[in-house]
Amino acid sequence: MVENTPAPGTQAPPFTLQALGSNRTVGTQHCRGTPLLLVFHDQHAVEAVQAMQEAVRARWPDAAQLLICSVVDMSALPSFVRPLAERVMKGIYAKASEAMPAGRSAADYVVILLDWDGAVSRQYGARRVSDAPLLVLIDADGIVRGVHKGRELAGAALAMLASLESGSAQNPSSTPL
């Protein structure tokens, strides 16, 4: 088990954050009925996160069936730098939006949650994500079904989602450090 993360089989800690760009409200209560894959990472893992997203979306292309959210802890930034950081991130969001295939909304497929005070990251035990991003899979009922900390995101995400898909609610997955 990854230290201080919610245990598989337990209720996911409640949270609410605003998605960058779309201003969509995302949280455990707002997303009931849709599984959530939370990806806690920073700029050092963007390529691994993109590869994971591509692998997962090849199998689960519909955002209504699975919402993948990047959670970025912004608490280390001094308050005077935050507006600039947000502007830069919005520029990245705009580029990603332009690259979306026809018929897909960036609001559903490019979900970046800026955790300004770090509370959600702490709540989920997301520490040192530069070295090892953290994946937390929450099912449609708000139960944690999988946890993985490490660089191999695509394989871990696919394995967690396969166990969710096969209905193995009594067999949640957890990948130790």
Comparing C-alpha atoms, which of 109, 157, 138, 153 is closest to residue 27? 138
pLDDT in tens, 55-91: 999 999 999 999 999 999 999 999 999 999 999 989 8
For residue 18, report the phi and psi dihedrals to the nearest 5 degrees: -95, 135
pLDDT of residue 19: 94
Q: Are 28 and 138 in contact (CB under 8 A)?
A: yes
Write out the two tokens for 170.
């009594």
Report the half-sphere exposure of 105 (CA within 13 A, side-chain side).
Answer: 8
Q: How many CB atoms lie within 10 A of CB 116?
A: 18
Can you name the CATH fold of 16-166? Glutaredoxin (3.40.30)
Q: Are 90 and 98 in contact (CB under 8 A)?
A: no
Split at pLDDT 50, 70, 90, the class of 101 is: confident
Domain layout of the chain by residue ranges: 16-166
pLDDT in tens, 111-168: 999 999 999 999 999 998 988 999 999 999 999 999 999 989 999 999 999 988 776 4
CA angle 47, 112, 169 (to 5 degrees): 85
